[in-house]
Amino acid sequence: MKIDFTKMNGLGNDFVMIDDRDEALDFAPEAVAWFCDRHFGVGADGLILVRPSTTPEADWYMHYYNADGSLAEMCGNGARCFAKYLVDHGLVPHDASALTIETLGGLKPVTFTRDDNGMLDSATVDMGKPLFSPEEIPAAFEGTQVYDCPVETPYGTVHVTGVNMGNPHVVIWVDDVETAPVDTVGPYLERHERFPNGTNVEFAQLVDNETVRMRVWERGVGETLACGTGACAVAVAATLSCRTGRDSTVQLPGGDLLIRWHENDHVYMTGSAAVSFTGTVELPEEE
């Protein structure tokens, strides 16, 4: 079975994009993991299928898999790459500057600019309203909000702020992200019993009152160069703790994202997306 794909990335957070407009593909988790394997497959942080929307309120549906083959509700960098794929392949009207993406985490409106060749240059995704209650994240904590809550780990006590941005996140403030325990505390919290659906884990450092630096351990993936929903969670947590205002630049290893937590309570993420290369792979039918 030969499959055409497009390799894309948003600030180094990379994806295998596959056209599945006829909805004929149903990959086993092992097949997704093979695609994402950086030694034996294409190599990526996730795999995205381009499918027709299931609702008239959206233009297309983004079916997103983590690198381990698990389905995820939403991916912010993936949404920008998805929008670029649609625009660059003429799957939205040539004069359009907006579209709506359906995800398992809800509808995500996107506005975008084009370059001189009509290709998508940058995109702003309406990531929706952040959710804070333990039930909405979900997370097993008492109270109405998961804010600066202590969690014991084998590596010491950490304080987490929980935010659902279409998928679950916990933010940990550190003095220096370069020395943060991303590869130990990250995987420990990712599948901690307090988070029944697992969680993404962000380590954030305040640079100034408009800038935050972060690293992320993504659920089902590991450390990545960027995470759009994670950047939104960090920006929201920074505002909640009065570290920044509602507009901030979030610096990730792969580049910067501009985040605005608007007065309408929606979070808007602006950043770039790029095509790395295209190709064809042969996959056994049983996969």
Burial of 181 (0-12, 13-18, 19+ CB in 10 A): middle
Tell me how far apart the alpha carbons of residues 101 and 110 are, in angstroms, rounded to a whole number: 7
Residues 6+ apart with CB under 8 A from 116: none
Annotated active-site residue 149? The verdict is: no
The tokens for 88 are 């660059």
Annotated active-site residue 75? The verdict is: yes
36, 81, 149, 227: the active-site residue? 227
Cα-Cα-Cα-Cα dihedral sign, residues 206, 233, 157, 144: positive
157 within 8 A of 119, measured Cβ to Cβ: no
Q: 119, 49, 50, 67: which is closest to 273 by C-alpha?
A: 119
36, 75, 81, 232: the active-site residue? 75
Catalytic residue numbers? Answer: 75, 227
